[in-house]
């Protein structure tokens, strides 16, 4: 969805009956701050009050705690309180929705942003389609001037370019992921198409813009997390869950940092240089 750069807050917000009742409960200031942060996230998502990273990837309580700089218990209390006052809806699929979003926000203005972005994307796709057609026509004209052998060679080259080529680094990371999983899932790993895994990692770098360092960091981190280690058993699944895994790692980093500060370790900032 097209992100907008503003949301609407009423100047009478703190005269609202629900807000006044919330101010009487413990952690009231934190709850109200989290309420405003949720409104901002809903504006960024710009999808009729829904809040998510991607449509199939809702925010978890741990992710929100990291984003808001609050502990998980405070976030959980805020979500429960806001849901009890019917200010948000907590869906069974994990999606958070702001209640009465259309009533309180300038939906017409938000729709204009959304439509403008959709039109921009449509024009971009059309331009790319025209460029591709022109390129194909140029290749076709060139092929007619050559021999049958030249034509076949051109076709082979075109197919190779469309497939893309993974690098030694992509293959190395694919083998590392397979090696990490072999001891626990030997039969499954023996059937792996390692070249397909390497190509998936290539797509992560080229299309998803993930750095080699970040991909390798996540692969090395997986065996340290029992839940994710058992669930990420292919390069395809690694790509699908990569953004969520980065959130989990950053949450772990914050927890380690807080624990280090409590125990007065000499270097509590040792987790600040994560490549993700």
Q: How far does Cα 13 stand from its chain's mean position?
A: 32
Q: CB 51: neighbour CB atoms within 10 A?
A: 22
Residue 128, pLDDT > 90, answer: no
What one-character DSSP code corresponds to residue 193? -
Report which secondary-structure segment, H or E, holds 90. Answer: strand 88-90
**Region 144-172 average pLDDT:** 63
Q: Which of 223, 215, 271, 221 is closest to 243 using CA atoms?
A: 215
Task: For the chain, give the mean pLDDT.
Answer: 81
Q: Identify the weakest region by mean pLDDT among 9-13, 199-203, 220-224.
A: 9-13
Is 82:99 a contact under the CB 8 Å cutoff?
no
Share of the chain above pLDDT 70, in %: 74
Residues 232-241: tens digit of each pLDDT: 999 999 999 9
**Region 215-234 average pLDDT:** 90
pTM of the full structure: 0.41
Sheet of 88-90: strand order equals 50-51, 96-98, 88-90
| Dmax (CA) of the chain | 85
Q: CB 74: neighbour CB atoms within 10 A?
A: 20
Residue 149: pLDDT band (50, 70, 90) is low
Residues 235-273: tens digit of each pLDDT: 999 999 999 999 888 887 776 666 555 555 445 454 445
Share of the chain above pLDDT 90, in %: 47
Overall residue count recorded for the chain in this entry? 276
Residue 3: pLDDT band (50, 70, 90) is low
């Amino acid at each position: 969805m097209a992100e907008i750069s503003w949301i609407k807050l009423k100047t009478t917000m703190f005269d609202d009956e629900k807000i006044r009742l919330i101010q009487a409960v413990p952690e009231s200031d934190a709850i109200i701050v989290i309420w405003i942060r949720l409104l901002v996230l809903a504006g960024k998502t710009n999808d009729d009050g829904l809040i998510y990273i991607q449509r199939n990837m809702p925010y978890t309580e741990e992710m929100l705690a990291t984003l808001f700089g609050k502990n998980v218990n405070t976030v959980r209390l805020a979500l429960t309180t806001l849901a009890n006052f019917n200010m948000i809806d907590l869906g069974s699929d994990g999606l958070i929705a702001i209640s009465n979003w259309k009533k309180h926000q300038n939906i017409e203005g938000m729709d204009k942003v959304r439509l403008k972005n959709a039109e921009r994307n449509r024009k971009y796709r059309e331009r790319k389609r025209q460029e591709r057609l022109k390129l194909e026509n140029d290749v076709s004209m060139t092929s007619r001037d050559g021999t049958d052998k030249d034509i076949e060679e051109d076709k082979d080259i075109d197919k190779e370019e469309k497939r893309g080529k993974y690098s030694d680094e992509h293959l190395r990371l694919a083998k590392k992921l397979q090696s990490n999983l072999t001891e626990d899932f030997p039969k499954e790993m023996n059937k792996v198409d390692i070249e397909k895994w390497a190509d998936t990692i290539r797509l992560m770098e080229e299309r998803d813009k993930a750095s080699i360092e970040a991909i390798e960091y996540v692969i090395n981190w997986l065996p340290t997390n029992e839940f994710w280690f058992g669930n990420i058993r292919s390069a395809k699944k690694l790509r699908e869950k990569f953004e969520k895994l980065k959130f989990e790692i950053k949450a772990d980093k914050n927890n380690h940092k807080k624990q280090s500060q409590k125990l007065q370790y000499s270097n509590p900032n040792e987790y600040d240089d994560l490549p993700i």
